[in-house]
Structure 1
Amino acid sequence: MFQAPGSLGQKGSNATLYPVQDIFYMLGAVVPMYHKEKLQKLPQLAAIHHNNCLYIAHHLLTLGHQFQGRLGALLCDRTATFVDLVPVFRRLGTECFLAQMQVQKGELLERLSSARDFSTMDDEDSYAAANRAVRQVLHQLKRLGKIWQGILPVNVYCRAMGTLLNTALAEVVARILTLEDISAENADRLYTLCQMLVDEGPEAFVPLHAEEQNRPFREEVPVYVPKWMMFRELMLVLQASLQEILDRWADSKGPLAAEFSPSEVKNLIRALFQNTERRAAALAKIK
């Protein structure tokens, strides 16, 4: 019967080193397959498995050196380590959690797909559907925040939540950019929906661990959410006049130009404003 490394004796040490390695190989091979369905469906279990794999990988770095004195003369004179297993367990933990992230991204996009493309916000049913979709996205983010806080390391947790929030914002931006006609009422309602995401989305990052709670988390949101500034610029455009849009474009040197291409800004102007000479003059300045 297998003995724990702490109980290895000189006589059986040579014969026990390889069974120990085999146990780690079996652990890495069996757990992901046996619990495959649960690891895909339960975000909490995926986070725990991720941590377990990284914890094992960390200790495998020094396990051979830690018990080198008990491995007998033959192995003691050589380098008997488990370092070759470190990338295996790191990969297992990372792949499992990335797969769970893909599941969560798919659910976010599915919820936003029920928003009817944000195209007819002046219709009460369409606006209600879009409002419900945004609420469901925020609920999913907050639920994941509660599940993963206390399990994932803070840096991994913030990157994960930032990636998911970024997915939602990028999808909303993409849908609004495809709109060909945005009335004043539609623009106001789109702005309201976007404001919900701006107000409540960052709440997924708190509360952090005790040592992190005093950090100004809202200031760090752009670090973890690449589309954050683009989303804020889009909100400004939805409420801006032609001159304000040109001021933010600033001959392709302003904050609007940093987030959107000339063609995207032109499409927004065409959708938001009627075809007038002022609009034509503004379009000519977007280069």
Structure 2
Amino acid sequence: MSFLSEVLRSVGETEIDYTDKNIREISKKLTSYKDEINTYIDDVYRKYCRWPSRKEKLLNDVSKLCEDIDNVKSYTESVVVVEMENQHTHIDSLKKELEQLKIEGNLVYVLTQIHEKFIMVKDNERQKNYMNALTTLMEIDSLLKEIPKDSLTESLYKNVTKEMVELDIMICEEMYEYLIMKEGKNGVLQTNVLKISKTSKLRELFSILEKFEAACIELKKFNKFFWLCICKPIISNITNVHIQEIEDFHVLTVSIKKTQLRRSYKEVFENLLLVFKFISLHLNFEVGGNTIISYLGDNLRADFAEVLLKDCLGTTLPKSDKEQSKYKQVIEDTKEFESRLVEIGFLKKGKNSICDYVTSMNSVLGNIRCEEYAVQAIAIMKKDLHDMVEVGTHFDPANPLIGDQFPQCYVSRSVIELLNLAQDILQQALLEPNVFATRLICTMQSFFYQYGSIVYGHHEKFLQNIPQQVVLFRNNCMYLAHELQQLNDVYNTQFSKEVLPVPPIFKDQSHQLRTIGGDTFLGYIEMHKKNMEKTLIDFKFESERLSEVMANDTIKCIRQCLRQYELLKTVWHKILPHPVYNKTLGYLLNLFCKRLIDTVVNAPDILVVNAEHLVEMFRTVLNRGPKLFTEPEEVNLYVELWQKLIELVFILGANLAQITERWENGSLSTHFTPDEVKHLIKALFQNTDRRAQTINRIKVN
């Protein structure tokens, strides 16, 4: 080995030792700085202890340490080693360690900067330098994005958010020292006060809030107060508006007297203009690209126009042709008022103009008149159903109804009132301009679309429990459906295509009314069907029970069911149309007979004593059932199983010879199948040769 090689190796080993030594020192310092920073972070951002003092020296030391790391790294990379293969691994290790130290050093440096900036935020907040505090918080947020996310950065992010919220609260609290909104009572008057500072501080605070993107929240609060406590009371109540200067504030006071009286529209216009001028003069700066007065206009325009029309200008609308000439002055005054609001900046020219409501007098009058008709119609629909009146053509079996005749029955008097109102509206529509006539017709159509839901909703409990109310509702719907078709015939041809493009006036209202009336009635009938079944089950009147001695009070279930039908007769027989009444009672009685017959026919065995008891029970039905109908003889017309029940009573009390004779002469075979009769014979009689002979003779005739 040459001397030169040994010298180079010696130099290289010396440089490596030097580098290694520097790295150890840098690592030691870095560990110390890291420990110190971690202690601060743990105290301040995790445990929320008191803020420590600034550590600018620490920040400088960390910055110097990062420079030392860069120098050592450069020095290490410049080392030339000749024939030192055995040192390569050591050098690579040193380089990697330097890289790691560089990363840790930068991280410590960023964290130190963040800590210093948090202290700056606190200083600025104490000095009320809110813009500087906000800018510094934004810088902290940017620095946090430079370091990897872990539990430490999460804690710091939370602290940034916390500081943002606290700063926002500080700014808002100070802002409301310069913009004061108060509601209060002064004797019998409600007194609302708005104070605006004469300084420019309010503009500055709004500007900072805008950076926060929080200005809109505070503007919404101001917008709400301005509308509910200043503008709306001026429009809707008697108020006094007073403007004055008090010390460092411009003050607007609105005193409100709650009363049914209204000031003239001119006084309302005057007071509103005072208020809008006050806002435009003393809050004359922009927030979010808009002046505050234009912001208020954008958010309040629709409500402002609606309330102004309803509570102020609505009272000036003409009630007759004579009053229309006076209304022209109202239109002129309103145009002037609107133009002043455009000048001030509250309204934008041509957008949601107040005059659009006032000058479109027919439309406005139409709205009001249609609303009045709607209120009147709903009040009629909610009247008592049991206030009745007779309608329709008297029922005569010898002369059946023809054509469009409606059967005689009772309906609620309110139905007649509603139809009279509909005729009045149609007559009025014939006299009005086309546009208004169309609106009147649409309003009237809506009455009958809503009839079912409004009446049922208002009288729901009665319609579920009181039979009289149920049939009246059914009759009302049917009668309305009939009369609407009559109105179609009378009025369809009297309106032009511009008013009624596609006749008829009433298209599907009749069908809808018949459906809801019929469904409600059928629902009540189904309830009676279930009640009947429940009564029979409660008294254990079932097929399997006939093989045991029946209780003496079993007949009560028959009487209870019949009493329900007799109650329906008492209530319904005059209210329902004659055919509908008989068909309905016939349907219920037929269901009852079917249940009685099926119970006996399906019984596996019937005791003799039970057979006698059943005869007594069924004769009660046969005696009282016909009395349910308008004419007792009609029971055979409307109760399909009536004769079958009669034949069943005969079988229960007859002997085998009598049953055989009646089968062969056709009386039984008309109503019973051979299998049913055979089953009954087996259930009623003991198994003997004579029974077998009788069963064999029961064949299809």
TM range (shorter): 0.7 to 0.9
Matching residue's letter, 2:646: R
Q: CA separation in 2, counterparts of 1:62 and 1:77?
A: 19
- Matched-pair contact (CA < 8 Å) for 1:10–1:72: no
2:432 maps to 10
Alignment of 1:166-205 (within 5 A): 166-205=590-629
Worse-superposed segment, 190-199 or 112-121: 112-121
Which of 555, 569, 575 is matched with 1:151 structurally? 575
1:212 maps to none
Q: CA separation in 1, counterparts of 2:538 and 2:439?
A: 61
Q: CA separation in 2, counterparts of 1:282 and 1:33?
A: 61
Deviations 1:96-125 (A, max 9, x none): 1100100111111111223322645984x7
- Matched-pair contact (CA < 8 Å) for 2:547–2:605: no
1:274 maps to 686
Which of 227, 234, 239 is matched with 2:641 structurally? 227
Q: CA separation in 2, counterparts of 1:171 and 1:80?
A: 47
Shift of 1:34: 4.2
Change (3 A) 1:121 1:200: farther
Structure of larger gyration radius: 2
Deviations 1:243-277 (A, max 9, x none): 21112222xx7121121122211111011111110
Shift of 1:66: 2.5
Deviations 1:132-155 (A, max 9, x none): 111101111111111112211010
Q: CA separation in 1, counterparts of 2:547 and 2:597?
A: 15
SS at match of 1:260: coil
Change (3 A) 1:80 1:181: closer
The two structures have a TM-score, normalised by structure 2, of 0.37
SS at match of 1:150: coil
- Matched-pair contact (CA < 8 Å) for 1:184–1:272: yes
Shift of 1:24: 1.1
Deviations 1:44-83 (A, max 9, x none): 1110100000010001102133234764573478633214
Q: CA separation in 1, counterparts of 2:574 and 2:432?
A: 41
SS at match of 2:541: helix
- Matched-pair contact (CA < 8 Å) for 1:249–1:255: yes
Q: CA separation in 2, counterparts of 1:153 and 1:234?
A: 33
Matching residue's letter, 1:231: L
The structure that is strand-richer by fraction is 2
2:89 maps to none
Q: CA separation in 1, counterparts of 2:531 and 2:619?
A: 21
Q: CA separation in 2, counterparts of 1:270 and 1:127?
A: 25
Alignment of 1:18-167 (within 5 A): 18-68=442-492, 71=495, 74-75=498-499, 79-117=503-541, 119=545, 123=549, 126-128=551-553, 130-167=554-591
Matching residue's letter, 1:246: T
Which of 220, 240, 254 is matched with 2:666 structurally? 254
Q: CA separation in 2, counterparts of 1:199 and 1:257?
A: 24
Which of 253, 259, 263 is matched with 2:675 structurally? 263
- Matched-pair contact (CA < 8 Å) for 2:546–2:607: no
1:285 aligns with 2:691: no
Q: CA separation in 2, counterparts of 1:57 and 1:243?
A: 58
Q: CA separation in 1, counterparts of 2:501 and 2:539?
A: 67
Q: CA separation in 2, counterparts of 1:78 and 1:65?
A: 14
Q: CA separation in 1, counterparts of 2:547 and 2:626?
A: 25
Matching residue's letter, 1:224: Y
Matching residue's letter, 2:570: K
Deviations 1:180-226 (A, max 9, x none): 22233221111010000000112122xx4xxxxxxxx2322121111
Q: CA separation in 1, counterparts of 2:695 and 2:612?
A: 22
Worse-superposed segment, 60-69 or 227-236: 60-69
Change (3 A) 1:194 1:69: same
Q: CA separation in 2, counterparts of 1:178 and 1:21?
A: 54
Shift of 1:35: 3.5
- Matched-pair contact (CA < 8 Å) for 1:187–1:238: yes
Matching residue's letter, 2:643: M
The structure that is helix-richer by fraction is 1
Higher RCO (CA < 8 A, seq sep 6+): 1
Change (3 A) 1:63 1:286: same
Q: CA separation in 1, counterparts of 2:627 and 2:457?
A: 35
Q: CA separation in 2, counterparts of 1:227 and 1:37?
A: 34
Matching residue's letter, 1:84: D
Equivalences, count: 273
Q: CA separation in 1, counterparts of 2:568 and 2:437?
A: 45
SS at match of 2:603: coil
Q: CA separation in 1, counterparts of 2:534 and 2:585?
A: 18
1:211 maps to none
Query: Please, which runs of 5 or more residues in structure 1 have no aligned partner?
Result: 209-216
- Matched-pair contact (CA < 8 Å) for 2:626–2:634: no
Change (3 A) 1:81 1:122: same
Worse-superposed segment, 37-46 or 87-96: 37-46
- Matched-pair contact (CA < 8 Å) for 1:120–1:127: no
SS at match of 1:67: helix
1:213 maps to none
Matching residue's letter, 2:466: L
Q: CA separation in 2, counterparts of 1:181 and 1:64?
A: 63
Shift of 1:86: 1.3
User: RMSD of aligned C-alpha atoms?
Assistant: 2.2
